[in-house]
Structure 1
C-alpha cells in the first residue's frame, strides 16, 4: 500500500518528465538524405567472416541455427576435401541462409558461434520490395575479399597444421624469420 507521501509525489514526478522535455527543441533527421551514425555495438545485418588468407571461418557446426529463437537461420555443413578446401577445418558451411523476415536481430547466433565466423555489422537498411530478396544466401553474407586474400577453395596458407592455423603459430614464426609465406604468398 502506497503512503500518502508517495501518492502525492508520483504525479509531480511524472509531470516533471513532461515539463523537462516540453521545451527542448525537437531533433528532426531528414532520413534517407541524412543518416545518423549508429552506436558502435549496434546489431545490424549479419556477416560471415574470413581468415586473413581468404578461407571462411564458418565450420558448418549449425550452432547458430540451434541458438536462433526465431528459426531464421539455415546451415548445411559439408566436408572439405584435399581438392576443395573452403575452411581450415574438416567441415565448412556449404549452405548458409538467414531469413530476415523472421530474424529479430537478437544476437544469440553471434554468442553461439565457436569460431567468431558470424558477426553483426552496423548496416540497418534491410527493407526491400520482395520477400525473396530478404532471404540472404551465403554469397550475400560473406565478407568481401581484402587485398592479399585468395578466393576459396585453396590450401591453408597460414600454417602447416590446423593447430598452427588457428593459433597463428606458423604465421608468427614466419614473420619473425622474414618468410613471404606468412602474407598469403607462395
Structure 2
C-alpha cells in the first residue's frame, strides 16, 4: 500500500503575525457596541433587556416566564396528601444516579405500625446538589413517584454542606404531590 504524505500549507506573513485576526475581531466588536448603543441589538426585545445589550438583568429579571416545559431542575422528595413518605427506600434512584449524588439509608417501619406491610422507608436521604447533573433518571426510575425534578435553578449555598440536601430539606422543598401511592394502597 502506498503512503501519501500530505504537506501542510505554509502560513503567509499575515497569518504568522495574526495581527489581521485581531483587527477583524476589533471591528466586529465595535460594530456590535455601536448597534447596542443605538438600541438595535439583536434579541433585546425577547430578553426584556435594559436596551444596553442582550444580557438579562438577573436579580430583577428572571427566566421563570420563559422556562421551557421540558426544563429539568432540582430533585426533591414529596409526600402524599396525608403527609406520609412516598419513598419506599428501594434505592433505585441511588443505583441509577450517574454522578452518585444520592445516598439513601433504609429504615424499617415498626411492627406495631398500621403500615408495616410496606417494610421500609428512608431513615436518611441525601442529595448532593454539587454532584447532581439534573439528568432526571432518578425521577424516571422511581416506582412510587416520590422524587421529581422541579423547575428551580436558584440553588445556592455559602459552603459545601449547604448544598447537601437532607431528607427534611428535600421534603420541605418538594411539598405534597397528589395521586395514587401504591405502598399506601389497602388492597395491595
Into which bin does the TM-score normalised by the smaller protein fall?
A: 0.5 to 0.7
SS of alignment partner, residue 126 of structure 2: strand
**Where does 1:38-77 land on structure 2 (aligned, <5 Å)?**
38-77=67-106
Aligned residues: 134
Q: Secondary structure at the match of 1:164?
A: coil
Q: What's the CA shift string for 1:121-156, capped at 9, x where partnerless?
A: 11111132201100100011013369xxxxxxxxxx
Distance in 2, matches of 1:32 and 1:54, equals: 34
Q: 1:33: Cα distance to partner?
A: 1.4
2:27 counterpart residue number? none
CA distance in 2, matches of 1:121, 1:23: 33
TM-score relative to the length of structure 2: 0.61
Q: Distance in 1 between matches of 2:187 and 2:70?
A: 29
C-alpha distance in 1, partners of 2:87/2:118? Answer: 9
Distance 2:185 2:89 in 1: 18
Query: Which residues of structure 2 form unaligned runs of 5+?
Result: 1-39, 45-53
For the structure 1 residues 162 and 131, does the alpha-carbon distance in structure 2 shift closer, same or farther, using more than 3 Å as the test? closer
Counterpart position of 1:78: 107
Alignment equivalent of 2:42, drawn from 14, 18, 24 = 24
What displacement does 1:87 show?
A: 8.8
Which one has a bigger Cα radius of gyration? Answer: 2
CA deviations on 1:35-86 (whole Å, 9 max, x unpaired) are 1222233111111111111101000111100000101100011111145678
Deviation at 1:120, TM superposition (A): 0.6
* 1:164 and 2:186 are equivalent in the alignment: yes
Q: How does 1:98-137 map to 2 (within 5 A)?
A: 98-137=127-166
TM-score (norm 1): 0.62
Q: Is the 8 A contact 2:115 2:184 kept in 1?
A: no
What's the C-alpha RMSD, in Å, of the aligned pairs? 3.1
Kindly tell me: are residues 88 and 123 of structure 1, through their superposed partners in 2, closer, same or farther at Cα, counting changes over 3 Å?
farther
Whether 1:36 and 2:67 are equivalent positions in the alignment is no
Distance in 1 (alpha carbons) for counterparts of 2:146 and 2:70: 17
Q: Hey, what's the Cα distance between the residues in 1 that align with 2:120 and 2:152?
A: 29
- State the partner residue of 1:178: none
